[in-house]
Amino acid sequence: MATTTPTVTNVLHTDYQRSVAAYWNNNQQDPVNLRLGDIDGLYHHHYGIGEYEPSVLEGPQDTRDDRIITELHRLETLQAELLLDHLGDISPGDRVMDAGSGRGGTSFMAHQRFGCQVDGVTISEYQVEFANNQAQQRGVADQVKFHFANMLDTGFKAGSFRGIWTNETTMYVDLFSLFDEFSRLLEHGGRYVCITGCYNDVTGGRSKAVSRIDEHYICNIHPRSDYFKALAANNLVPINVVDLTSYTIPYWELRARSSVATGIEEPFLTAYREGSFHYLLITADRI
């Protein structure tokens, strides 16, 4: 339908965007995401928050890893719940957008919670297909739709969304272009929620640990200050900022002890502990 489907045909604009799309089309068999998602069909591409239950490390050795994996998934789901808590009042008649929707985990949770239409956009055609298959299996394909679209230029109608979020996806794009598009898409009073990793302007530039994270995911982590400059430049006014750094460290400590560790655990732990990197939640309203 013309009102719900983006009309942009030229989705990938740059060689960088093509390389990011290729990464997410081709690096999708990592057990750290599939084994966790298989637990309940919510496939996340973000990290976790909250204390883990210490007993998962105890008990029989042969089931220890399964307990850790279940716990990691619980903490990732908790992170998405926290993000959705900040979206404010969303009614079933509203429409919300998941920018960089991955395999759809947060989108399905949003639909469960608000009962509204959810549109996910991603530049990975693999992810679009995976998430739309999930929507079919869940019987919500008429309400939760995933589009092969660029979050910098979605093609959706101006003012058509009550809420937009990015769950760890802003490090792939220029924030000024992104918030320009979100400002166009949100209705007046509409809300934007961002969970991100950003580097600390106070400690200086990009630390070695932060650079290792950038290399690992082919992303470009922004300084904390850029978020607020780009929001202010686009009529998006912060109402809440929460430093989640101390809440995500246990997730990384537990993940480092699991069979699904990927090697990026130590750079995250170093960056967070040395203070060169924050895990931040930012909520802003469109004025």
The nearest distance, CB 168 to ligand GPP, in angstroms, is 4
Contact between 38 and ligand GPP by CB under 6 A: the answer reads no
For residue 241, what are the β-bridge partners? 282
Residues 206-265 that bind ligand GPP (CB under 6 A): 213, 217, 219, 221, 262, 264
33, 117, 170, 276: residue in contact with Mg ion (rule CB under 5 A): 33
Contact between 56 and ligand GPP by CB under 6 A: the answer reads no
Cβ–Cβ < 8 Å for 130, 105: no
Residues 59-88 that bind ligand GPP (CB under 6 A): none
The nearest distance, CB 99 to ligand GPP, in angstroms, is 13
Mask for 134-173, x = binds ligand GPP (CB under 6 A): ----------------------------------x--x--
The nearest distance, CB 181 to ligand GPP, in angstroms, is 19
The string of DSSP codes covering 180-222 is HHHHHHEEEEEEEEEEEEEE-TTT-S--HHHHHHHHHHT--PP
Contact between 30 and ligand GPP by CB under 6 A: the answer reads yes
> In the complex with Mg ion, which residue's Cβ is closer, 4 or 27?
27
How far is Cα 123 from Cα 20, in angstroms, rounded to an integer? 8
Cβ–Cβ < 8 Å for 33, 103: yes
Contact between 45 and ligand GPP by CB under 6 A: the answer reads yes
32, 78, 242, 280: residue in contact with ligand GPP (rule CB under 6 A): 32
Instruction: Give the pair of three-digit tokens for residue 104.
Output: 């759809």
